[in-house]
Chain A
Amino acid sequence: MSGGLQNVPIVFRGPNGASAGVAAQHSQCFAAWYGHCPGLKVVSPWNAEDAKGLIKSAIRDNNPVVMLENELMYGVAFEFPQEAQSKDFLIPIGKAKIERQGTHITVVAHSRPVGHCVEAAAVLAKEGIECEVINMRTIRPMDIETIEASVMKTNHLVTVEGGWPQFGVGAEICARIMEGPAFNFLDAPAVRVTGTDVPMPYAKILEDNCVPQVKDIIFAIKKTLNI
């Protein structure tokens, strides 16, 4: 807007998405809302390493960055690799990470669902299905190249997110795959696993069925692979 004169070096960080029992006004995922806006950078860490590396990169970045954390992940402990303990450990914004190598299907997620995907992959490995799990780390600018390279290798794609399906992160990934070279490598339509398309209810049994669970991810993977 200012023709490059005024920059906005600010970071907004906070919990995003569903927690436990906090109902409709406190469970919404804003990844798609913020990811929609040009001029913003949006990051979404999964584990401790992501959280540290991304917040440092966000602070050092001269642009407005929104960091979408997850309340349920605050209490989860992770192995912290040696290099992550340095005070200059940065994770570049706009680069996804392959958490698990695989050959049969690409599973893409951000934030807490990455953990569910890793779990699902472990279960499926016992049945001989090797999933490649990609942790997006950044929503905007999206690292579509990593996803494309993976899809060109595995020929199948499932996206997983906590947010609602319509106009969401998964929808954007699918659209971009169609626009790029990876489309011709798909053996089946890409599938999205998302939160249920309702305002978050309070009762436990309802809430549990409104967030993507490991069983939903496994089901989607098997359907895509036609198993």
Chain B
Amino acid sequence: MMQTVRRMELKADQLYKQKIIRGFCHLCDGQEACCVGMEAGINPTDHLITAYRAHGFTFTRGLSVREILAELTGRRGGCAKGKGGSMHMYAKNFYGGNGIVGAQVPLGAGIALACKYNGKDEVCLTLYGDGAANQGQIFEAYNMAALWKLPCIFICENNRYGMGTSVERAAASTDYYKRGDFIPGMRVDGMDVLCVREATKFAAAHCRAGKGPILMELQTYRYHGHSMSDPGVSYRTREEIQEVRSKSDPIMLLKDRMVNSNLASVEELKEIDVEVRKEIEDAAQFATADPEPPLEELGYHIYSNEPPFEVRGANQWIKFKSIS
């Protein structure tokens, strides 16, 4: 799975440079252990919400690489029919894909409230980054989640840089796992997929036992810059990026473990890589060849469950139909 996410993000990088993907594109290569490890620690019936570095989570929550790449290229085969783009991808029990920094955290607490209300033993993973961790709305969410004992796992994906600002320059306390104050927190090695999985399982069990929210800080790293418009080397050195790549790359760490414990041979892992490459190539082909969404559907899906109505275009003589 991690290999698929890695290759998918690299393919997105390629397509962006060819200008086939436009607008925003925030890649998560380097952070694969987080999305894959978390998914392994929860059930498909649990819920997850994150910010804009979301392609990996979109995949682990069940969408295909095809749908994701086609959404990035703005085609009708995309998961949001080409209307959402990079930051607005959704799946069952996956609430995006949110562009506004930190705004997803109160939403996540709300989903946890719904989980508690519905009484089905589900939890909500509410993710945010080291940059968003300093936002006021996060602390408001902490307060309410703790007060009402919501089954919310707050997860800070600390990749050391909030856009171009290092954590030392942004936060008075870089112990993000302690920022929840009255919420118990743990610091997790975000480059080790098994570590992430076990920590997530522990956290989920804590919430399901009705003990209230819990906080996890995943220490991870992103190889790319903040987004495709950021080369990522003006605020950190190439040496640093290289060091992480050679010593802590999540895929390399897992591979080494598997080979050294005789769980898999190097050939078997190579085979997986070949299959992944093929899957990504097929998806990219589809994403570039699929046609754009039809103009008549511009006004669709504004409301849900609503009888059809008319949408005004650029002037009063241009009209689009809107159906739910």
Query: Is there contact, CB below 8 Å, between A212 and B82?
Result: no
Interface residues of B, dominant DSSP: loop
B87: interface (CB < 8 Å): yes
Give the most central of A22, A26, A201, A223: most B CB within 10 Å: A201
B72-125 residues at the A interface, CB under 8 angstroms: 74-75, 80, 82-88, 98-100
Indicate whether A201 sits within 8 Å of B82 (C-beta atoms), given known contacts A22-B24, A23-B23, A210-B298: yes
A57 at the interface (CB under 8 A from B): no
Decide yes or no: A205 and B100 within 8 Å by CB, A25-B87, A191-B316, A198-B299 being known contacts.
no
Interface pairs (6), CB distance under 8 Å: A21-B85, A197-B312, A202-B82, A209-B313, A216-B318, A223-B317
Contact A196:B23 (CB < 8 A) given known A201-B298, A209-B295 = no
Q: In the assembled complex, how far is the CB of residue A74 from the closest CB belonging to chain B, in whole angstroms?
A: 13
CB-based nearest A residue for B76: A203
Give min CB distance, B212 to chain A, whole Å. Answer: 31
Cross-chain pair count, CB within 8 angstroms: 112
Contact B292 A205 (CB under 8 A): yes
Is B315 an interface position by the 8 A CB rule?
Answer: yes
Interface mask (B171-189 → A, CB under 8 Å = 1, otherwise 0): 0000000000000000000
Q: Tell me if A216 and B314 are in contact (CB < 8 A).
A: yes
Q: A25-B99, A202-B74, A209-B298 are in contact. Are A196 and B311 (CB under 8 A)?
A: yes
A202 touches B88 (CB 8 A): yes
Bitwise interface map of B from 306 to 323 toward A, beta carbon under 8 Å scored 1, else 0: 000001111111101010
Q: A residues bordering B, Cβ < 8 Å?
A: 19-26, 165, 191-199, 201-206, 209-213, 216, 219-220, 223
- CA–CA, A192 and B315, complex, Å: 6
CB distance from B304 to the nearest CB of A (A): 13
Q: Are B23 and A20 in contact (CB under 8 A)?
A: yes
Report the minimal beta-carbon distance from B66 to chain A, rounded to whole angstroms: 16
Extra pairs beyond A202-B74, A206-B293, A212-B314 (7, CB < 8 Å)? A21-B24, A22-B85, A23-B83, A25-B87, A26-B24, A203-B74, A220-B315
Whether the Cβ atoms of B295 and A205 lie closer than 8 Å is: yes
User: In the complex the two chains form, is A219's CB within 8 Å of B74's CB?
Assistant: no
Within 8 A of A (CB), among B274-324: 292-293, 295, 298-299, 302, 311-318, 320, 322
The answer to whether B295 and A206 touch across the interface, beta carbons within 8 angstroms, is yes
B binding-site residues for A, Cβ under 8 Å: 22-24, 71, 74-75, 80, 82-88, 98-100, 292-293, 295, 298-299, 302, 311-318, 320, 322
CB distance from A106 to the nearest CB of B (A): 16
| A209 CB, min distance to chain B CBs, angstroms | 6
Q: Could you say which residues of chain A place their CB within 8 Å of the CB of B314?
A: 193-196, 209, 211-213, 216
Q: Top 3 closest A-B pairs, CB basis?
A: A21-B23, A202-B85, A21-B22
A164-B167 Cα distance, complex, nearest whole Å: 39
Q: Determine whether the beta carbon of B312 is less than 8 Å from that of A165.
A: yes
Q: Are A203 and B75 neighbours in the complex by a CB distance under 8 Å?
A: yes
Minimum CB–CB distance from A218 to chain B (whole Å) comes to 10
Q: Once bound together, how far apart are the Cα atoms of A165 and B314, in whole Å?
A: 8
- The residue in chain B whose Cβ has the minimal distance to the Cβ of A165 is B312
Give the complex CA separation of A20 and B22 in angstroms: 8
Which of B80, B82, B298 lies at the interface centre, i.e. has the most chain A CB atoms within 10 A of its CB? Answer: B298
Smallest beta-carbon distance B300→chain A, Å: 9
Q: Tell me the complex Cα distance, A193–B74, Å.
A: 26
Given contacts A195-B314, A198-B320, A212-B314, contact A23 B298 (CB under 8 A): no
Contact A202 B23 (CB under 8 A): yes
| Given known A-B contacts A191-B316, A198-B299, A219-B315, A203 and B293 have beta carbons under 8 A apart | yes
B289 to chain A, nearest CB (A): 15
Distance (Å) between the CB of B75 and the closest chain A CB?
7
Closest chain B residue to A215 by CB distance?
A: B314
Closest-CB distance, A81 to chain B (whole angstroms): 32
- Which B residues touch A192, using CB under 8 A? 315-316
Q: How far is the CA of A19 from the CA of B302 in the complex (A)?
A: 21
List of A residues within 8 angstroms of B315 by Cβ: 191-194, 212, 216, 219-220, 223
Which has the most chain A C-beta neighbours within 10 Å: B88, B99, B311, B314? B314
Partner of B88, one of A23, A191, A211: A23
